Amino acid sequence: MGYHMGGGAVLGLSDPTVTAAGSDARFVTFKCESNTGPVRFYYIEKKPGEEGEVSGPFSADEYAQVENAKMLPPHSWTARP
């Protein structure tokens, strides 16, 4: 999380940071980046009347396989560069 100062500057960015997300009726998807590690992907399966189940972290290659198998929604939101 951080404060967008304009011109691409962000103050107080924490590590790791969600940089992309998406959702549909069944899933919420996230892409997390950090300054100290690899990009990781997660998804939450929505379950009516109970807490969703978080799956991950996945590498980009692992996530591509899961994304296709489960028909996960694409990331429709991306953090500003």
Domain membership flag for residue 9 = no
Q: In which domain, by residue range, is 40 found?
A: 16-78
Tokens of 13: 């960015």
Domain membership flag for residue 7 = no
- pLDDT of 20 above 90: yes
Domain count, the chain: 1
- Cβ atoms of 20 and 6 within 8 Å: the answer is no
Name which residue leads in pLDDT, 81 or 63.
63
The total number of residues shown for the chain amounts to 81
Domain membership flag for residue 10 = no
Confidence of residue 1 (pLDDT cuts 50, 70, 90): very low
Mean pLDDT rounded to a whole number for the chain: 85
Close Cβ partners of 69 (under 8 Å, ≥ 6 residues apart): none
> What percent of the chain is modeled with pLDDT above 70?
79
Please tell me whether the overall predicted TM-score, pTM, comes out greater than 0.85 for this model.
no
Looking at residue 61, its pLDDT comes to 98
